[in-house]
Structure 1
Amino acid sequence: MLEARDVTVRYGRQVVLDGVSLTVEPGRVTGLAGSSGCGKSTLARVLALMLRPAAGTVTVDGSAVRRWRQRAPRGLRTAVALLYQQPRLAVDPRLTLTEIIAEPLAAAGRADPGRAAALAAEAGLTGDLLGRRPHEVSDGQLQRACVARALSLEPRYLVCDEMTTMLDASTQAHLVAVVEAYRERSGAGVLAVSHDDALLARWAHHRVRLGGFEGLED
């Protein structure tokens, strides 16, 4: 399980999260709802090992996280993949879509052009797009590349932080289907963060709301 326990995050004097706990189970989709500005993205970054909390603990399949970002052990870093709401802020604008997808494989010393191409196709990217750079494609096409990149190292958990916001309905449905196919074949756990309650009602096995964490109907 991917677990946050009593997590507190402060930005200066402002407390963004105060003693929050959340569990993401393997093989299931946990939906995280809440109003804009309530700290959903902050919690997503904590769970993805991108942000060290001021207090509380995070564990990945029983292993306590003691270091964060690039200082975390590779096995923990690659166990959790984060999909951002704004793909243009998550990629190097100098890279082509193929290079973006292949970047984690290359960094791990596991370069595999065939796997990168297969992931691109699964995400719905046609060959004519793969040599383009971010400014040459739409937000939806770039987010498809980001989903393919997130799956490249076969993470045990996927943290999807509003990954379908501002995308058209067909792209949204396709990306959710790609994540669902990966979850079903790998047994990965998924945290789906969204302000769209209708999407979470269709997608998640269990939903919680940030701000008291009252349970929503499964």
Structure 2
Amino acid sequence: MLVADSVTAGYRAGAVIREVDLQVAPGEIVGITGDSGSGKTTLARTMAGLVAPSGGTVTVDGRSPRRARGTIAMVFQSPRAATNPHFTIARIITEPTTISRTPPPDLTELAATVGLTPDLLTRRPHALSDGQLQRACLARALAQSPRYLILDEPTAMLDAATTATIIRLVMHRTDLGTLLISHDQPLLTAACTRILTMHEGTLKTHPESPH
């Protein structure tokens, strides 16, 4: 289970999230919504181990995120900011397994899973649409065979078809625990097992949450 226990975190200007408790179990999709600046991205980055909490702890199946590398994968809002413009799409997707020196995935099969055709794998980011590039970022996340997936506004820049592809794929992966951050309330209602609202750095149950 991916767990935040009384987590406070932020940056030099001070705490952005305060005393947050959150659990994400394998097979569960937890939605987070809230106003811009409420702390959603800081929470996502803290749960992924990219921001160290100043208080409380984050654990991944009982371990610290640093000791559980490869167990958590994250997809960011802007695919162009999250990819190297000089890399081919094939290299972008397989980069995590190259770094971790783990066996690479079947690239053609993984690309097909997220709706990318083989001809796109030899191209660079500038030759792909935002939707195609975000699919590649999802493939990169899945290439790590994570147990937990954190999606930070992954569909904010995408068309309806790409949004549907990404969410359908996540919903069908019952082995994954997913944290889905989005302003899209209908999307959260359709995809999530429960929904929480972040307000001024704290979490509460959303009134439209299924549970």
Q: Which interval holds the TM-score relative to the shorter structure?
A: over 0.9
For residue 210 of structure 1, what is the aligned residue in structure 2? 198
Alignment root-mean-square deviation, CA? 1.4
Matched AA of 2:204? E
User: How far did residue 55 of structure 1 move?
Assistant: 1.1
For residue 102 of structure 1, what is the aligned residue in structure 2? 94
User: How far did residue 180 of structure 1 move?
Assistant: 2.1
Q: Equivalent of 2:163, from 150, 155, 172?
A: 172
Structure 2 residue runs without a partner (length 5+): none
SS of residue matched to 1:3: strand
In structure 2, distance between residues paired with 1:105 and 1:214 = 36
Structure 1 residue runs without a partner (length 5+): none
Q: What TM-score do the two structures reach when normalised by structure 2?
A: 0.93
In structure 2, distance between residues paired with 1:177 and 1:81 = 18
Q: Equivalent of 1:162, from 150, 153, 163?
A: 153
- After superposing the two structures, state which structure 1 stretch, 2-11 or 208-217, moved more: 208-217
In structure 1, distance between residues paired with 2:73 and 2:11 = 24
Whether 2:68 is the aligned partner of 1:80: answer no
Residues 175-206 of structure 1 show CA distances to partners (whole Å, capped at 9, x for unaligned) of 1112222x22xx11000111111110000001
Q: 1:38 to 1:129 in 2, by over 3 A?
A: same
Q: How does 1:132-143 map to 2 (within 5 A)?
A: 132-143=123-134
In structure 2, distance between residues paired with 1:10 and 1:45 = 10
For residue 13 of structure 1, what is the aligned residue in structure 2? 13
Matched AA of 1:46? T
In structure 2, distance between residues paired with 1:9 and 1:215 = 20
In structure 2, distance between residues paired with 1:166 and 1:21 = 29
Q: Equivalent of 1:150, from 137, 141, 159?
A: 141
Identical aligned residues as a percent: 44
8 Å contact kept, 1:102–1:111: no
User: How far did residue 111 of structure 1 move?
Assistant: 4.2
| Off by >6 Å, runs of 4+ in structure 1 | none
Count of aligned residue pairs for this structure pair: 206
In structure 2, distance between residues paired with 1:214 and 1:104 = 34
